[in-house]
Amino acid sequence: MGLLNGKTALITGGARGQGRAHAVRSAQEGADVILLDITEPIGSVDYPLATAEDMAETVRQVEACDRRALSFDADVRNQSQLDAVVAAGIAEFGKIDILIANAGIWTRAPFWEMSEETWIDMTDINLTGVWKSAKAVAPHMIERQTGSIVITSSVNGLEPGPAYAHYVAAKHGVIGLMKNIALELAPFGVRCNSINPGAILTPMTNQQAAWDMFAGHEGGTYDDLLAGGYGFHALKGKTFLPPEAIADTAVYLNSALAENVTGVTIPVDAGHMLLTG
């Protein structure tokens, strides 16, 4: 018996990285999954986003757990696309019990040099996209008087970061949004919580801008990234954390184990906030 037996989970940004880990861990615990991601590039993002092959691999891994997966090419900035994914998911599986609002981007620039496009892409996806995703599932969850929403924030939802004010603003913003969603949906039996990941090894961090940040100069390498990861986390031996660390926490929050937990945010950061908080 899995912790999510018979549930259906909708996961945004589900093609790779933490999204794939959420899909596979949810499936291992007995859930069918509905995945959405974009394949279009985003102007201000200079690392590649997910591909159709990434999504096909996530679907394959879910099906290998004997669970069903539906996948959609959809953008969390687009309410009608989100609404269509929710309608198609309900038509296929009969219900949606869980939303994991995970889709996000990460870019860097000093705030006074940041282009408006960079600011808007970030806040549209990492903040407004979460609101739109929750908006798409809320009426269904209210009608069923049950549901769980997990929002992926960041340790940057609790502290600043070097040259990414837009990301910090969005990740702080989703914690406030989480608290309001939790308050507004509590009378309907629907819970909402968020997670603050530390440094997680995914395609978002395994790219040149992150290698440079951890090296402290341009021309950083993968080894600089891993070396920097050791200083980031307090717990012994913890460099970059696996995406499954975040997915395990979401399984808990989405399960009956957390039936009395709503409106909270949980750092999963191997003690990073002890060093900086």
Enzyme catalytic residues = 167
Region near ligand NAD per CB under 6 A, out of 73-81, 137-145, 183-191, 218-226: 73-81
- Minimum Å distance from CB 143 to ligand NAD? 25
Single out the residue of 4, 10, 13, 23 in contact with ligand NAD (rule: CB under 6 A): 13
Instruction: Round to whole Å and give the CA distance between 67 and 216.
Output: 44
In this structure, are residues 128 and 72 in contact, taking their beta carbons and an 8 Å threshold? no
Task: Work out whether 104 is an interface residue with ligand NAD (CB under 6 A).
Answer: yes
Task: Work out whether 118 is an interface residue with ligand NAD (CB under 6 A).
Answer: no
Region near ligand NAD per CB under 6 A, out of 17-25, 64-72, 131-139, 226-234: 17-25
Choose between 19 and 228: whose C-beta lies nearer to ligand NAD.
19
Instruction: Round to whole Å and give the CA distance between 194 and 198.
Output: 13
Q: What is the CA radius of gyration of the chain?
A: 18
What value, to the nearest 5°, has the Cα angle with vertex 89 and ends 87 and 93?
125
Task: Work out whether 254 is an interface residue with ligand NAD (CB under 6 A).
Answer: no
DSSP, collapsed to helix, strand or coil, labels residue 65 as coil
Single out the residue of 200, 209, 245, 268 in contact with ligand NAD (rule: CB under 6 A): 200
Choose between 52 and 186: whose C-beta lies nearer to ligand NAD.
52
In this structure, are residues 34 and 62 in contact, taking their beta carbons and an 8 Å threshold? no
Choose between 35 and 138: whose C-beta lies nearer to ligand NAD.
35
Instruction: Round to whole Å and give the CA distance between 249 and 266.
Output: 8
